[in-house]
Amino acid sequence: MARMKFLCDAERCIECNACVTACKNEHEVPWGINRRRVVTIQDGKPGERSISVACMHCSDAPCMAVCPVDCFYQTDEGVVLHSKDLCIGCGYCFYACPFGAPQYPQAGNFGSRGKMDKCTFCAGGPEEDHSSDEFQKYGRNRIAEGKLPLCAEMCSTKALLAGDGDVVSDIYRQRAVARGFGSGAWGWGTAYQRKTANR
């Protein structure tokens, strides 16, 4: 089985933030932490694009490389998780992450941040599956139930895909073949009276 990955289809994302809401609700994420967020570029202008961003569960995760206490680990499916018991809240993983995925619940004096929190691919943490400890620290463990991350399952346009990397890339490839790519994609020709891709 290939690694578990997210893929956000920017052609379909409508910035509804259903993924953000679903994640916050399901895991009871504290105030001030956004495990997932929708980033929009060219807002209100032609070429506006939105993309849902969270931890990308990198194959060679920089957060794991820089952690001074090695609180990160990677499951057999490629999901990058960490132990909040070992985390010291130094913030190095935040500096290292190109997506800004690690977040901290506190903004206290003398730089105290609290334990790092991030997207877990709905795979919980090192605690026992479905235990109250696991839910309280990391949120729901949907992967252990055979369910995909809720953000992808709740996506209104199925822009956000999650799961086996081979399956996800196959879905995206079929979409790209059907509609074209970039400025050649369907709809743009109608809007700007340019030649559309043949279907």
Partner 1 sequence: MFFKSKRMFLIFVLCGLTALTGCREAEQGRPLVKEKGVYEGPADTKVSDATLHKLRHRAARQGF
In DSSP terms, which residues pair with 161 in a beta bridge? 7
Q: Which is nearer to partner 1, 21 or 75 (CB)?
A: 75
- Among 15-23, 97-105, 111-119, 142-150, which window interacts with partner 1 (CB under 8 A)? 142-150
How many CB atoms are located within 10 Å of the residue 4 CB?
Answer: 22
User: Can residue 70 be called a binding residue for partner 1 (CB under 8 A)?
Assistant: yes
Among residue numbers 1 through 30, which ones bind partner 1 (CB under 8 A)?
A: 1, 4
Copy the structure tokens of residue 44. Answer: 């209100």
- Among 15-23, 50-58, 90-98, 147-155, which window interacts with partner 1 (CB under 8 A)? 147-155
The strand ranges marked E within 9-68 are 37-41, 49-53
Percent helix, strand, coil in the chain, to 5, is 30, 15, 55
CA distance 199 to 185: 10
In this structure, are strands 160-164 and 80-82 parallel, antiparallel, or unpaired? unpaired
Copy the structure tokens of residue 198. Answer: 């043949």
Copy the structure tokens of residue 45. Answer: 């202008």
Q: How many residues does the chain have?
A: 199
User: Can residue 105 be called a binding residue for partner 1 (CB under 8 A)?
Assistant: no
- Among 13-21, 70-78, 101-109, 186-194, which window interacts with partner 1 (CB under 8 A)? 70-78
Asked if 86 and 70 count as a contact pair (C-beta separation under 8 A), the reply is yes
Place of tokens 């690694």: 3
- Of 77, 99, 185, 189, the one binding partner 1 (CB under 8 A) is 77
Q: Which is nearer to partner 1, 167 or 185 (CB)?
A: 167
- Of 127, 137, 151, 180, the one binding partner 1 (CB under 8 A) is 127
Place of tokens 């109608």: 190
Q: What minimum distance in Å lies between the beta carbon of 142 and partner 1?
A: 10
User: Can residue 143 be called a binding residue for partner 1 (CB under 8 A)?
Assistant: yes
Q: Which is nearer to partner 1, 41 or 144 (CB)?
A: 144
Residues that bind partner 1 (CB under 8 A): 1, 4, 69-73, 75-77, 81, 83, 85-86, 125-129, 143-148, 152, 158, 161-164, 167-168, 170-171, 174
